[in-house]
Chains A and B, each alone.
Chain A
Amino acid sequence: MDALKSFFMTAPVEPAEFAQSLWLIIALPLLGAFVCGVFGKRLGRGNVHLIACASVAGAFVLSAIAFWCVNHAPQGGLPVSMENPFSASALRYSIGYDYGIWFAAGDFRVNLGLMVDHLSGIMLLVITGVGFLIHLYSTSYMEHDESGWRYFAYLNLFVAAMLTLVLADNLVLLFVGWEGVGLASYLLIGFWYTDAAKAWAGRKAFVTNRIGDFAFLIASFLLVLLVGAFTGQANPANYTSVGVDPSAAQTRYAEGLAFKGPLSFMGLEIMANALPVTAESNPAAALSLQSPIAQGPLEGRTFGGVLTVTLLLFLLGAAGKSAQFPLYVWLPDAMAGPTPVSALIHAATMVTAGVYLFCRMSYLLVLSPTAMLTVAIIGAVTALLAALIAFAQDDIKKVLAYSTVSQLGLMFMGVGTGIFWAAVLHLVTHAFFKACLFLGAGSVMHGNGDETDIKKLGGLRREMKTTWWTFAVATLAITGIFPLSGFFSKDALLHGVHHNHLVGFEGAANALYALGLLIAVCTAFYMTRVYLLTFEGERSKEARVAHAHESSGYMTVPLVLLAILSIVALFYALPLMPGRNGVRQPVMENFLGPVFASAERLAARGGQVKLDHSLPSIVDYLVAWVTALVGGGLAAFAYLKYFPSRAGMPAPVWARSVRRFTQNKFYVDEVYEAVVIRPVKGLGTLVFKMVEAFIDRVLVHGTAWVTNFTGITLRYLQTGDAQVYAAVMALALLGGAVYAIIQVLN
């Protein structure tokens, strides 16, 4: 056991050396995208598959080595750490490399810096690992598509963008990845662009994401101003919690800013540490969260206020990317793309970006209970809304899409209440079982003539054995049945939501917990429904093909691997690691400890959040288990006993109207249409008319008309008759002579 431990903790490459090659992790899939996109048509199907899969596999290997390096701690030696340019203390369990200035304007500077710590390390493994399985699966799924090369180019581009997002050590580089996944998702969702509806779905995703991205940008600018105001006003006493020698820490921080720019995560972390909540908590400090900003565009606003606004704008950005409440409408429509794309976008990558962003900036988030509560409420509302909509959807992919929205809502609840590690754990386990579910759905469609209506499937259990059992495992995992990973991760989340307290909003914890349990019941219900209608019972009479066929090995192997992963991921939730006060910690919490150390420290000051580190008790586990069983049991009763016994009888009117209401997604899209899209369109038409009337008529056509008129008029003067010209010259001469005479006489 010790030998194994020391093996895993001794990196195969010197971490400091490997850090210089981190760019390769992004460059490999990018190169794959380039080769597939430019030469793909001539390379042939097999070569494109090979290049696309190999580049992601290579990225996976490099990610694994990077992760290994991050865990580097030879026996008796210190854990791997990297220099923090902003402070004397080093960053533990992280490696990174700065490739120098990317761009600079005035004293604003952005460096091309990549960093891997435990959080981004886990994300790297999930993205490249699950991403590779999805690539492998796609080689079979997209076999019959004409432009497979284009598909794989986009898919590689997507992976590259997502890797940029998690590897970035500053917000600007993160934004590049953030935009990159938006672009790639637009390309992939609208992959079958000859079908207008699918192209529209891609456009919808793009536009919705853009709204969030705009908020993200404004938030970044606010942060730049905030950092500027902070450095201008802070005194050495502010830095007492940063370093042993406060004035040295202040100098160091200023040097760090000059070197790395204001948007580096390391710098933001130091700033968060140096901001006391109230003036009393550090009387010598020049400023606290409540002190006003002295000058600049934000003059007069308090630091805490600006921070809250910034975080709320980041929330809007994350809502766009992670499909949360106001901006979630694009995700269900995104089902128009090829199914493996849904798996990639939904499970492993893009939609988790919002959760990742907030975990990355956990130290800022814990400074603002208002923002935290908003995040939690948005998460809860989204989770519940999406879960309710999922009840009545008949399209297998749509159910899974709403389920993703709902699960992400749960993660946001966790982030909003400060149980960051559980949110990440749920993100990871969710990546496994949701990818498994989506790929399973794809396999079902593949074997049934692209049938997505679960009412027209059924009885696939005997015909698609591998798909069946992997889907079953993933369904059990997402519903939260004991010993699967989903049970532990969801329970850790709900437990944290219940026991963490936001100062000023103590009552929220119980309400959120109750909502969480309700969401868990809903999840269990609709997932069981999908599973039962698809795999159990008799084969539907409306089925497109008489006998479904099992998919090829390229599709089933990823399914099996994902199913196994969604079981073994439970290991991360087991309390095996030594923790505080002799209480054992879950592996994941211990693991992410260094990442969330600042957030913990800030919370421990007690001003804003009270984090709880207790383990769920047996009662908590029982409650969670019973909720899952109740939801699943209800679905089983309804769809195995109740509805079959009533077959042929019409449903009561109220049931039908409720169902129609839910099926139409609570008319949220229609409300948006009426409230947002119509007025904007009207405004657009108005502006268009003004442009048409003034710019087009007067300026453009007017210029042409004047030129034309002048030309027509002057044409008569250009006779080509030398004598006429001479006459004009003589007249001019006469005029000049008359003028001269008048001048002389005067």
Chain B
Amino acid sequence: MANSVDIKYYLILAAVLFCLGMFGVLVRRNALVVFMCVELMLNAANLTFLAFAKQHGNVTGHVSAFFVIAVAAAEASIGLAIVIAVFRSRGTVNIEDIRTMKH
């Protein structure tokens, strides 16, 4: 398949996306942005699944990607619900201020 793009470009893109997501998770203070960065990491994972699936001609990767999307959707809905609940009770979504577990 000469016209196809070499798999290593997909993987490099996925690694870049993952690192961006991880960087965002580590440094951002807004809980919503952190969530978005987590989604970014999940999507980097999905991209590698699909790249390998295409290379091997195997649909298992696609199925895995669908599972990840489904789980990510569920996680996002629960996470957003938590963030909204926290915002209601505290008036902030800054994760540096949400530290009740420490005490």
**Per-position binary interface string of chain B over residues 64-103, scored 1 when its CB falls under 8 Å from any chain A CB and 0 otherwise:** 0000000000000000000000000000000110010111
Contact residues, A692-729 vs B (CB, 8 A): 718-723, 726-727
**Assembled-state Cα–Cα distance A633/B24 (Å):** 118
**Assembled-state Cα–Cα distance A450/B26 (Å):** 92
**CB atoms of B22 and A730 under 8 A apart:** yes
Q: Which one, A718, A720, A721, A726, contacts B25 given CB within 8 A?
A: A726
**Assembled-state Cα–Cα distance A722/B28 (Å):** 12
**CB atoms of B26 and A720 under 8 A apart:** no
A731 CB to closest chain B CB (Å) equals: 10
**CB atoms of B95 and A726 under 8 A apart:** no
Q: Which residue on A lies nearest to B28, using beta carbons?
A: A723
B19 CB to closest chain A CB (Å) equals: 10
**Assembled-state Cα–Cα distance A393/B95 (Å):** 92
A719 — which chain B residues lie within 8 A by C-beta? 102
**CB atoms of A720 and B22 under 8 A apart:** no
B26 — which chain A residues lie within 8 A by C-beta? 723, 726-727, 730
**Per-position binary interface string of chain B over residues 15-57, scored 1 when its CB falls under 8 Å from any chain A CB and 0 otherwise:** 0000000100111000000000000000000000000000000
A718 — which chain B residues lie within 8 A by C-beta? 102
Which residues on B are within 8 Å of A, measured CB to CB? Answer: 22, 25-27, 95-96, 99, 101-103
Main secondary structure on A side of the interface with B: helix
**Assembled-state Cα–Cα distance A726/B26 (Å):** 7
Q: Which residue on B lies nearest to A733, using beta carbons?
A: B22
B41 CB to closest chain A CB (Å) equals: 11
A497 CB to closest chain B CB (Å) equals: 90
**A-B residue pairs in contact (CB < 8 Å), sample of 20:** A718-B102, A719-B102, A720-B99, A720-B101, A720-B102, A720-B103, A721-B96, A721-B99, A721-B102, A722-B95, A723-B25, A723-B26, A723-B27, A723-B95, A726-B22, A726-B25, A726-B26, A727-B26, A730-B22, A730-B26
B50 CB to closest chain A CB (Å) equals: 22
B16 CB to closest chain A CB (Å) equals: 15
Q: Which residue on B lies nearest to A718, using beta carbons?
A: B102
B69 CB to closest chain A CB (Å) equals: 22
Q: Which residue on A lies nearest to B23, using beta carbons?
A: A730
B27 — which chain A residues lie within 8 A by C-beta? 723
A722 — which chain B residues lie within 8 A by C-beta? 95
A730 — which chain B residues lie within 8 A by C-beta? 22, 26
Which of A718, A719, A722, A727 has the most C-beta atoms of chain B within 10 angstroms of its own C-beta?
Answer: A722
**Assembled-state Cα–Cα distance A719/B27 (Å):** 16
**Assembled-state Cα–Cα distance A718/B103 (Å):** 10
**Assembled-state Cα–Cα distance A721/B26 (Å):** 11
**Assembled-state Cα–Cα distance A727/B34 (Å):** 13
**Assembled-state Cα–Cα distance A723/B103 (Å):** 17
A723 — which chain B residues lie within 8 A by C-beta? 25-27, 95
**Assembled-state Cα–Cα distance A745/B79 (Å):** 41
B22 — which chain A residues lie within 8 A by C-beta? 726, 730
A727 — which chain B residues lie within 8 A by C-beta? 26
**Assembled-state Cα–Cα distance A718/B101 (Å):** 10
**Per-position binary interface string of chain A over residues 32-52, scored 1 when its CB falls under 8 Å from any chain B CB and 0 otherwise:** 000000000000000000000
B96 — which chain A residues lie within 8 A by C-beta? 721
B60 CB to closest chain A CB (Å) equals: 23
**Assembled-state Cα–Cα distance A248/B39 (Å):** 97
